[in-house]
Structures are given as C-alpha cells and as structure tokens.
Structure 1
Amino acid sequence: METNSNSASSKPSASSLRWRILSRAVLHRAKNPEDESQLGMKLISRKAAKGFNLIPCQLLNHDHESRDAQFCYTLPTQGCPKLVLTQRLNNNADLTDFEICNRHNIDNTGTVCQWPSEDVLAYYCLSHADMFRSKRVIELGSGYGLAGLTIAATTEALEVVISDGNPQVVDYILHNINTNSGAFGETRVKPMKLHWNEKEVSNLSHTFDVIVASDCTFFKEFHKDLAQVTELLLKKPGPSEAIFFSPKRGNSLDKFLEEIKDNGLLFSITEIYDPEIWNRHQQFMNGDESWPGYEKDHCYPLLIRITR
C-alpha cells in the first residue's frame, strides 16, 4: 500500500498543533508569521484576536520590559466613557502562571486574553442598562473586568463587585478599577478574590440582585462549584437573576445546567438575543476570515438566564 509521506507531514494533527500553541506561550518563541505552522495554529485555535469586535479596542502603549499593555475600549453608545484596561499581551505566559494555578486550583484562562464572550457580555449589559440600575451586581470569573467595568460606568448600578479566583487577575482588576474610577459616578466598585468552592462568603450570601459571567462553563470539573456559588450569591427573598453567556462546547453547557437544576434554580436559554451579535455570528459562519476556525458550537455564546 503506497502512502504519501509529503501529505502526511504537511498536515500535523490537531493535538500536535495545540501542543505547539502551549509551547510557544511558555517559551515565548515568536515564529515567522509566514510560517505554515503559524497558519495551522491559527486555524486550530478557538481564540480570536478580535472576537465579535462589538466594543472597539485600541492598543495605547506597551512597555517592552513588561508583559503588560494598556488598551482603550470605546463603548459604542453616545456619551459613554472610554475604558482603559491593563492586560497581558496575547500568547504571553510563563511557568509561574501555571504554578499559581496549581496552588489555587484554578485555570489560567483569565490572563490569556480578553475572551470573545466577555465582549458579548459587556455589549449586552450596555444595551440593557436599565436592568442594573440601583442593583447590587457581581461578575464571576471576570478576567480583566471589561463587563463589570462597563456596568459600573454606564448603568447607575448601586454596587459592582468584579471577582476572579486567580490572585494575579484580581491585581489587574484592582488596577483597572483605579484607572477608570472617574467613570463610575456614584456606583461603588471593588475587586474580589472569589474561589467558586467557597461555601460561605462573608456578608455576601444571598445579597446580589444580578450575577453576570461569560465563558465560565468550559471546565466540567468546576461546574458543581459554579452552580453552588451562583445559588449562594443570588439574593433572597426578592427577585434576582444570573446572566451567563456561554457556547455549548459539546455537552459542557448541558452538564452545567444539570448542576443548576440540582441546586433548585431555574434557567432559560436564548439563541438569538441581539440582532447585531447574531448578524456577526452569521458572517463568521459564512466564511468571514477575521476569525479562523470559527464554529458555532465552540464560539457562539448562548444567553443563559438563571433565577430561583
């Protein structure tokens, strides 16, 4: 039986490409952008450089002695302030990041990039500002805090807590809150280190009117803790709800929603919740090359509303 060795060598497996992504991030090796392997990694990776690009982002400055850079987010509503966030440059990690993740039993996704579902969450909150007015709000697994900062700057919320379980990420959140403090008006804004397996949260149990989160259901090992902390934080008595944006990713979202039911909570799923977001999704499905590797199951966030 004759085999084509040239063909086999020119198409590395998906697993080998993913290992190259990890290797490049850890070793900080930037390959020639014209290299075919670089193109292959772009195609196999689900991460997008700009995602849905609902909130335009511009690099302000980058200290080349640092892993960090400042980005300016222009909120697409007249009269809204611009937000300046300090965050890591894409593909920039080192071994200390993984050591911290192992020590705190967390993942490292919060420092990797601004994930596309966070952009969708921030845009949705901006478009539904009335639901946050005079409410206590907490963002879970916030990463650099774009959605929480957007709520704080545009909705007249009473309080916004921006939380993450990674202490490195919480440092970024604190820095970004201080940088944008002039945009919050009377809204109280604070960072919080919150691990989802905490059974008691001092003075916060059952006190939040609204919980928001994006792309937090990927890892099945965290589903039970995430569902439990959602129940723990939702206000009672009185109306309260959690707004999650998450792609299906096989059966991952379904498994999380089983945990939600097991905690006595109700949920609804909406696929088409905003015409602009749906339009951009359709463009990606029809071959828009600005997001290589786009697939609905892995990339398009569904709107999950969770209530008591």
Structure 2
Amino acid sequence: MDPTSSSLRWRILRQALINRSDSQTEVEIKRVSRKATQGFNLIPCRQVVVDSCSEEDSREACVCYTIPIPSSPELYLTFFYENFICRQRVDNCSDLNDFEISNRHNIDNTGLVCQWPSEEVLAYFCMSQPDRFRGKRVIELGSGYGLAGLVIAATTQASQVVISDGNPQVVNYIKRNIESNSMAFSDTSVKAMELHWNQHELSELTNMFDIIVASDCTFFKEFHKDLASLIKVLLKANETSEAFFFSPKRGDSLDKFLKEIEDIGLNYVLTEKYDEQVWKRHETLAKGDESWPSYDKNHCYPLLIQITN
C-alpha cells in the first residue's frame, strides 16, 4: 500500500529533526512536500558562491535575483536555506533552537524554511505596477527574507519601505540584506523591523502606511484576528490606502481570514487571474511539471486580496 500523505509529512519532520535522509521515500516525500525548487520562476535567480565560507555560516546561502526590468539592479539575499548545499549544509535539516525561539515569541517558523513561492509572486506583481507605489509609504508584513520589500524599494520609487517579521532571527537576515543592497534603493528609505501582529503599543505606526503588502500570511488561523486588527491600525484612514495580500486558499484558512477582515470593518476584493504571466505559469504547473511535482492549486496558487478601508 502506498504511504498516505500524512505519514509522508511526518517523515519529512523526522528527517529534518534527526538530519538523516531516507532515499527509499525521497520520491514520495517530494510528491507531498509543498516546497518548490523554483516556484513560479518569475524572477531569475542563481546561487552565489561566497569565498568567506566559515563553520558559523555553514547553514547560509547567498542568492542573486535578476530583476527582469531594463536597468534594474541585481539583488543579493542571504538565506538560512535548505535547498542550497555549496556550503556543506546537510539538506533538509533543522535546529530545535529555531522552534524554541518560535514558541518564545508566539510565531511560526516558516520564515526560516525557504523563500515561499507567494513571496516571489508578490514581488513580481509589485514591480510590474510601480505607479501604485511611487512616493508611498509601504510596509511588508511577515516578510521572511524580504524579497518583495527589497524589490519594491529597488524598482518603484516608494518613499519608504519597512520590511517586517515577527521572528528576530529573520529580522537579522533582513537587516543584512538591506545593507547588502543599499546602493539599489536610490532615494527610498528602507529599514527592517521586528513586528508582532498582536503588539498593542503601535502609536508610532498608527495610520502611517499608504500600502501594506504580505504573502502567505493567512495559513495559521490563530493569527487571523490579530493580523486583521493590525491592517486596520497600520493603514492610513483614507480611500486610497490599500493592502495587497497573496495567499493560496489552503482549505478554509483564507475564507476564515476574509471573515475577520469583514468583521473588523474592512473591505476586500478577491482576484484569481491578476497577471497573465503568473496565470500561464500556473496552468503549466497544474498540468504537471517536474520542477514542482506536488503542485496543487488549492495549496500553491496565490490569490490576490486587495483590502481597503
């Protein structure tokens, strides 16, 4: 009998915790894992070999993103990454300290796992519509390593971009990535921030942002109410301010988040086909593609949610 999806997911966790791979089930695990080797492949990237490779940074990789816009700068992001092995890191391993930090701060650990595909879609969408962001104050929530925020800062002439995450480990990486790419931002002010969605003292941020962006932030239902409240607090109280969220449906998790958005008095528009290039890539993956063997629309294809006052 073939292993069930649930049993294979437990094997993924087991392998990560004991730093051991099981070649007999590797194919099955790739079939159920939601991680994608190349995602939607909208922004070309390559691994960069860094000479100063030490034992302390053996779990890191530097990736160069080539923005597909003429005269745009390349962006260099340092990752605590599982998919790159040039620095002798054990593939798909984990550290129990990462989970301890997540529990201490009441956050999830997904920001350290990889660059999730919805983040790439968010970055691609934003750089394709620079007029929306020009001269605006922008904040990215749950940013992970900050690809979308960095792309916005490098391509849209936003006045300010704040790249935030609740995980202090991730925020340290964001700071490093901002510093590494500082020459790409022109006059845009860019900074990192540790921001928890349930923070109550946010007076300095209240109604401060024209645009909020986020990707893959609606999966964990226990954070929905706090996230909806935070959007309400951060957005400027006018008709032109808006939030752009990209999230797959993932069962009923997105629907439940949208219910919280309605309950707090915000409005939203849900769009499935928002960009021709993203849609074409989705159709290719849905037909079967070895670069993403476990692709499933419900769990992988990000919908666009536009949220307004």
Confirm or deny: 8 A CA contact 1:140 1:162 kept in the other structure: yes
Q: Which runs of 5+ in 2 are unaligned?
A: 83-91
Q: Matched residues in 2 for 1:285 and 1:252: separation?
A: 21
Q: Matched residues in 2 for 1:237 and 1:215: separation?
A: 26
Are 1:61 and 2:62 matched, yes or no?
no
Q: Matched residues in 2 for 1:295 and 1:142: separation?
A: 23
Q: Matched residues in 2 for 1:197 and 1:204: separation?
A: 14
Cα deviation 1:98-126 (Å, max 9, x = unaligned): 00001000000000000000000000001
* Regions of 4+ moved over 4 Å: none
- Tell me what 2:121 maps to: 120
Task: Select 1:45's aligned residue among 33, 36, 44.
Answer: 33
Q: Matched residues in 2 for 1:184 and 1:150: separation?
A: 9
Q: Matched residues in 1 for 2:172 and 2:21: separation?
A: 27
Per the TM alignment, residue 192 of structure 1 is displaced from its structure 2 partner at its CA by: 0.3
Per the TM alignment, residue 56 of structure 1 is displaced from its structure 2 partner at its CA by: 1.1
Aligned residues: 296
- Tell me what 2:107 maps to: 106
Per the TM alignment, residue 288 of structure 1 is displaced from its structure 2 partner at its CA by: 1.7
Query: TM-score normalised to the size of structure 2?
Result: 0.93
Are 1:16 and 2:4 matched, yes or no?
no
> Cα distance 1:284–1:194, how it changes in 2: closer, same or farther (>3 A)?
same
Q: Matched residues in 1 for 2:283 and 2:248: separation?
A: 15
> Cα distance 1:64–1:294, how it changes in 2: closer, same or farther (>3 A)?
farther
- Tell me what 2:16 maps to: 25
Pick which of 196-205 and 68-77 moved more. Answer: 196-205
Alignment of 1:128-139 (within 5 A): 128-139=129-140
Cα deviation 1:64-107 (Å, max 9, x = unaligned): 63111100011111111100000022224200000000100000
Query: TM-score normalised to the size of structure 1?
Result: 0.94
Q: Matched residues in 1 for 2:18 and 2:206: separation?
A: 42
Alignment of 1:100-249 (within 5 A): 100-237=101-238, 239-249=240-250
Confirm or deny: 8 A CA contact 1:67 1:92 kept in the other structure: no
Identity of aligned residues (%): 62
- Tell me what 1:79 maps to: 71
- Tell me what 2:303 maps to: 302
Confirm or deny: 8 A CA contact 2:220 2:253 kept in the other structure: yes
Per the TM alignment, residue 238 of structure 1 is displaced from its structure 2 partner at its CA by: 5.0
- Tell me what 1:252 maps to: 253
Q: Matched residues in 2 for 1:270 and 1:14: separation?
A: 30
CA RMSD after TM alignment? 1.2
Q: Which runs of 5+ in 1 are unaligned?
A: 1-7
Confirm or deny: 8 A CA contact 2:66 2:73 kept in the other structure: yes
Q: Matched residues in 2 for 1:168 and 1:263: separation?
A: 31
Per the TM alignment, residue 287 of structure 1 is displaced from its structure 2 partner at its CA by: 1.2
